[in-house]
A and B are shown apart, each in its own frame.
Chain A
Amino acid sequence: MRNVWIIARREYKLFFSSPVAYVVAFFFMILLGWFFYSALRDAIIQSTYQAYVPTVQIIISPLVTLLLFVMPAITMRSIAEEMRMGTMELLLTAPVKDWELVVGKWLGAFLFMLSLLAVTWIFPIVLNFLVKPGIDQGILLSGYLGLVLMVASLVGIGVFISSLFNNQLVVFMVSLALVLVFWLVRPSSSTTGGLGNQILTYLNFIDHYLNFYKGTIDLSDIVYYLSLTSLALFLGTVSVEIRRWR
């Protein structure tokens, strides 16, 4: 476990010395700020016709979308870069277990994403001052809990994909494609029922977030994200092991 922490710590620090992370974080916040501003403007216009109080959802909903696109950029480097630079040889000949390496890589990127999420608290806090009598803190907490869980599984998927290829660009594209599949794939309405549809519904990334979004915490959603994370990390470990045999 100690190795996991050592690897995660280096990984986390590295984000702050690489321009990619800053660029991503910068545009992330700019876009988020812009969405926040336009949502507020709409709310003001709307409130002239009817009683309308914007909820924290106006910030969480663009946040979810942005996170889906940011993840591939944050995790594309993770293991792929070690492969390309040959430093993988160093890590795989150090007394570190393969899973410790993968989990450490995941934890470092996860912590970076959490830092990014922490910065976005600025918007709910601002909103809290703007609306009376303050925002619904239940939705805020469940919404962010959901985000943390979703980020955990997203980063897990990203690290797994990063363990498959040496090329960062390939990793980015595949991760993005996979996220879009999880995000958009829904059973067609004409063919309701059936096991296939049930599986597709179950796998959908966003559907599991809806409860958090509405302010309810459902155990099955937590289980979904945690098992997705574990599966991704398990597959990542297997992938590193397979690389040894080649």
Chain B
Amino acid sequence: MDKNMVFHETDILVAGGSGAGIFAAVAAVEAKCRVLVASRGKVGKSGNAIMAGGSFSIDGVSAKKFGYEKANEKVTQDVVFDNLVKEGYFLNDQNIVRQFVEESPEVVHRLVKYGEKAGQKFDFLPPAKWFSVGRAWGTAIKQAALEHPDIRIMEDVMIVDLVKNEGRVCGAVGYDIYGGRPVFIKAKAVVIATGGFQPYTLKTTVTDMTGDGIAMAFRAGASIADMEFLLCFPTALSPKRIRGSIYPYLFESLLGKWGVLPLVRDGRGDLIEVPEDLAALVKGSKMMKLVSHYFWGHRIYRGRGSKNGGVFLDYSNVPYEVKEANLEKYKNYMSSWHRKGYYMGDDISSIYDKVLNNGPIEVGLGYEYSNGGIVIDEHMETGVPGLYAAGEAGSGTFGAMRAGDGLTEMVVQGYRAGKSASSFVRESYDAPLPDHLPPEEVNKVFSPLETRGDGLSPIKIREIMEAAADEGFGFIRDEDGLTRCLNTIERIEKDIFPDMKISDRSTVYNLELIHCHAVRNLLLCMKAGVRAAILRKESRGCHIRADYPEVNHDDFLKRIIFRMEDDSMVHTMRAPVAEKFPLPKGRDENIMAYLFNEDHKYLRPKMR
């Protein structure tokens, strides 16, 4: 046993210190359980909540009850449910959607109140959403933690793997990133709240969304699903200093609402046009993201993107005065949260100039969210005794397309996971925790430092993986590209990763060590995603295949699920849980034609 090992014991260990993690911890202390949060970064300053822009929403009836006069009561919980399922291409597990819709008002309202108490601004807009920015949500999450001093928090800790005893999860091992000491946290239950995975180069998330919790849960026996569905949207591509900024999406949704919508041109300068009826149908909804994905993505896939793999926004179609007036309005509105001329910490004043003076603005499709993750039920149970998952690390809420808010999912599932884990600890926990940690578990943490390979650094390996994901697992997919990507993954798994070279043997702030664990996790998630994308010979939501454009309900309205069997990843397929709506049959010509299919009674554009 490592003499340096730091021990902690608690009832519930929460892995992840963003919204899902802190709300799980709040529920746990309210249920009088001991809880410890292990966060990769600093609470309130890490995780994807701080990266978010835009808004998060609940139903209008609940918002009205909370006293928001502008709420639109026609947007009932039924309407929210309908839109989530239909815009999720019916792949959602409807029991999870129900939990999301019914339980979110209270929890989301609490998040707003914590934020306001901490001096943050949330602008309530109809039908029932709050507009704000990542820093405000981070501060709200931090405030929730501060108001519950019984929550123990360890920051800058990397959890490496879960530990099991007699079939139950009994804690986790990891290490302190700055101090370099191994950590073992014994717990009666564990909540995974570590977020999703992003295998691409252009992303809008924090830098290390490597599916750590998803991979750990998988290794501990949980199933994972929907890994082929990754959500992308308009994102800054150049200049390099603002690459990954989400200002283009904010422009589209806010300036667009006021009539300042640009022409979109491909790398040759040819227009990329969206049919008017489709543009009208998705206006103001998150489905705008899927429309950009579809139309821009196809053009880029056909080799017609810009040199950096994006498209150009061209505002020459909007009169100068209209642009000037609305840009001023936009800047004034955003100045509640940002320095003038900035979005987050990025200076975008040169972009404003380009809008006014018709300069081409190069933007791309950046990835923000993974729909897939750990299979859970409406109690956030994973099927592995003592293991729960919440937020982006889970799956099933949004099906094939996230039409609802990730921030809402984060808190409503986090809080529920904390409650469920507390009930488990208080009512059904009967196995004693082990006194000693098996040596192989301790070794996992720092064993990469013992490798004597002479190949590539794990930092370089991650770069290779991202390039492979961009190339074969990107916006528009086909059999050849996916197969090439899977071959690369398998080559990394078999040859490159085992021969990895780690030059720095220190345990203190070692980026090679962090990447080594992260790459192992990302590789697992990416492999599941690419394998599912190969199996799914249709298009659905944000999985778009050039060689199988049809939405094929008859053969593929099924979730593709992976689990570990004899050390290998095996898949099954099952129909999503259908509670309220029966599952549709037949086929739609493509994912856009699906939106116009009268059988789905989808047409509710004003109800979002």
A binds B: no
